[in-house]
Chain A
Amino acid sequence: MAGSAAIELQHLCHWYGSGSMRRQVLQGVNLQVAAGEVVLLTGPSGCGKTTLLTLVGALRQVQEGAVRVLGQQLNGASRRERQVLRRSIGMIFQGHNLLRCLSAEQNVQMGSDLLLELSYRARRDQAREWLRAVGLGDELHKLPHDLSGGQKQRVAIARALAARPRLLLADEPTAALDSKTGREVVELLQRLAREQGCAVLMVTHDPRILDIADRLVRMEDGLLLEAERPRETAQA
């Protein structure tokens, strides 16, 4: 597992704007995330964490530096190549971004629908399975409108996992959850990482969950500072 890295970044640079308004947000980031590894990314707001996530998530064109995600080179990748790669990347957003017109179960199934080789029934069963896993087995048919903020975020997490990603990107997923559910969810993520070799790159400010990470990375002014291994410190 350790040999095939989920994420490999070499001297990644990114700019926004053009001309005199051009502003550099990433100043040569180097990062390696192994398959199945859980990496937490912290840092002050505006330091480029979200930009890093969108680049790794194949949502943005790479400008400079080398980006390799799940074995695929993203420099100069076409729109179509990035779209296909995104099927293997689960994303959990700060806002839940659920489809308002779909029930919880249907929202999760929009994730499992990306697995075209499964039958409709199998995908639906899988969607229910994931909802039960995040503790929403009784809310299958509720619309996002009728769910609490925390429940909506758990549906979003179930949706991201339903596509059986090999890499999970999360932007402050526990921000809307109470501490108990927050812990449950990140423990679930960790279990998934172990079971399926799915790597996790999570941006978070939540100090309560830092201990689940295999590795902590801190970002400041577009540069990464490798931090200590939290598990060792926490267990020590």
Chain B
Amino acid sequence: MGLWQGRRIPLSLLLLTRQPVRLAVALAGISFAGILMFMQLGFRDGLFDASVTIHRLFDADLVLISPRSTSSVSMAGFPKRRLVQAMAAPEVEGISPVHWNLLLWRNPETRGTRSILTLGFEPNDPLFTDPSLAPKARLLTQKGRVLFDEQSRPEFGPVAQWFKAGRTVESEIAGKRVRVAGLVGLGTSFGADGNLLTSSETFLELLPNTPPGSIEVGLIRLRPGSDPEAVAQKLQAQLPSDVTVLTKQGFIDFEQNYWRTSTSIGFIFTLGAAMGFVVGCVIVYQVLYSDVSDHLPEYATLMAMGYKLVSLLGVVAREGLLLAAFGYLPAYAAGQGLYLLVRSATQLPVFMDTTRAVTVFSMILVMCMASAALAMRRLADADPAEIF
């Protein structure tokens, strides 16, 4: 006996659809649970994604960092020599040393200060995969010039508006005067409300206490066709232990892992999704249980006619299956809509990806089937001898 019998009367479907109010309640409950799960998981993944906005942009196959670095907000320095040593490997095509620190930016309008993620690099070195940066980077060869991220939060001042209006925008970083030479679009992340790019020379002037020859991030580009994993392992073995060699994905994972394990964000949103699951279970169980109870004499009649208990249990199981399928569709559609809303309201990169779509569907399926299994126990009360 198959789970679905096309050659029979679709009893499960009819049991559900001939009671539209109960069906609507069930579907509303399941959809609600689904939407809750979509939102919580979406926020969680979106926040983790947002923590690596900058990381994704780098033009690098491998990344060197200090083993003492824990996240983008606390990057430690390591000797620039290590990056130069890496050049010795035949697979390495190019390197870019990068200074990385949070500096205090003075809002040119309100004069208040706020920390901004500042990257210092050699203006002639490639930094990001986006080619539009290169012409702007040339502006940084002049001392005391910075590129301001126009997607920075408004608390840093109306820099972008002023600049676009043709005004000369000057401000202070760590007490030193800087001038905005151009705008870039990078995006904010968890750790940084805003971003600033400058030349290594200017960076060291802003932070005169930086030990000479120390950098925070080393970008390595490999020749086409080389295996980043293998080269990373090789370099790690060759270089002293004061440096960690990561692939670009490893660098991204390193950052996300920090937010996932060292903060309560993951727990909070996973708990939220679990709440949706439990609420959904309760609703579906209620609906299926009362459905079975209401039809108990009819189930008993079918048993008296010679139907197997198993095939009647199958009817309830199929009801659960149908509820899962029917309830998921509106949840999916609403999820898409809400993600759109979240994206436009918060700039968080929340998208409907396949993994999450499948995860939520599996959760709804488990929810409905578990509730159906519990409701089936009621069927045991159907006694065909009682119906004469």
Can you list 12 A-B contacts (CB < 8 A)?
A57-B304, A84-B306, A86-B305, A91-B388, A94-B388, A95-B387, A98-B298, A101-B14, A109-B9, A110-B305, A113-B8, A114-B306
Check A100 against B306 for contact (C-beta < 8 Å): no
- From the candidates B7, B14, B301, name the one contacting A119 in the complex (CB within 8 A): B7
Check B7 against A114 for contact (C-beta < 8 Å): no
Complex Cα distance, B308 from A87, in Å, reads: 10
Determine if B302 is an interface residue (Cβ-Cβ < 8 Å).
Answer: yes
What are the 9 closest A-B residue pairs judged by CB atoms, nearest first?
A87-B306, A86-B306, A101-B18, A59-B385, A120-B7, A97-B301, A101-B14, A60-B385, A54-B385
Complex Cα distance, B7 from A120, in Å, reads: 5
Across the interface, name the chain B residue whose C-beta is closest to A61: B385
Complex Cα distance, B387 from A171, in Å, reads: 11
Complex Cα distance, B286 from A199, in Å, reads: 44
Q: What residues on A are CB-neighbors of B298 within 8 Å? A: 97-100
Check B18 against A100 for contact (C-beta < 8 Å): yes
Complex Cα distance, B9 from A106, in Å, reads: 7
Interface digits, A159-176 against B, CB 8 Å rule (1 contact, 0 not)?
Answer: 100010000000100000
Q: How many A-B residue pairs have CB under 8 A?
A: 77
* A59-B304 contact given A54-B388, A101-B15, A110-B9, CB 8 Å threshold: yes
- Give the residues from 27 to 61 in chain A that come closer than 8 angstroms, CB to CB, to chain B: 50, 53-54, 57, 59-60
Binding site secondary structure of chain A? loop
Check B305 against A50 for contact (C-beta < 8 Å): no
Interface digits, B295-309 against A, CB 8 Å rule (1 contact, 0 not)?
Answer: 101100111111111
Determine if B73 is an interface residue (Cβ-Cβ < 8 Å).
Answer: no
- From the candidates A86, A99, A109, A120, name the one contacting B304 in the complex (CB within 8 A): A86
- Give the residues from 78 to 117 in chain A that come closer than 8 angstroms, CB to CB, to chain B: 83-89, 91, 93-95, 97-102, 106, 109-111, 113-114
* A93-B301 contact given A50-B388, A102-B9, A102-B11, CB 8 Å threshold: yes
- Best-surrounded residue of A53, A95, A110 (most CB of chain B within 10 A): A110
Check A101 against B385 for contact (C-beta < 8 Å): no
- From the candidates A83, A85, A97, A113, name the one contacting B387 in the complex (CB within 8 A): A97
Q: What residues on B are CB-neighbors of A102 within 8 Å? A: 9, 11, 14
Determine if B264 is an interface residue (Cβ-Cβ < 8 Å).
Answer: no
Q: Chain B: interface residue count, which band?
A: 20 to 34
Check A163 against B301 for contact (C-beta < 8 Å): no
Q: What residues on B are CB-neighbors of A93 within 8 Å? A: 301, 387-388
Q: What residues on A are CB-neighbors of B301 within 8 Å? A: 93, 97, 99
Check B302 against A110 for contact (C-beta < 8 Å): yes
Q: What residues on A are CB-neighbors of B19 within 8 Å? A: 101
Q: What residues on A are CB-neighbors of B388 within 8 Å? A: 50, 53-54, 57, 59, 91, 93-94, 171
**Given A53-B388, A100-B18, 8 new contacts (CB under 8 A):** A50-B388, A85-B306, A86-B305, A87-B306, A88-B306, A101-B19, A102-B9, A110-B302
Across the interface, name the chain A residue whose C-beta is closest to B17: A101
Determine if B384 is an interface residue (Cβ-Cβ < 8 Å).
Answer: yes
* A97-B9 contact given A84-B306, A114-B307, CB 8 Å threshold: no
Q: What residues on A are CB-neighbors of B15 within 8 Å? A: 101
- Best-surrounded residue of A91, A99, A114, A163 (most CB of chain B within 10 A): A99
B300 CB, nearest partner CB in chain A, Å:
8
B336 CB, nearest partner CB in chain A, Å:
33
Complex Cα distance, B9 from A57, in Å, reads: 25
Complex Cα distance, B19 from A143, in Å, reads: 13
Interface digits, A112-155 against B, CB 8 Å rule (1 contact, 0 not)?
Answer: 01100001100000000000000000000001000000000000
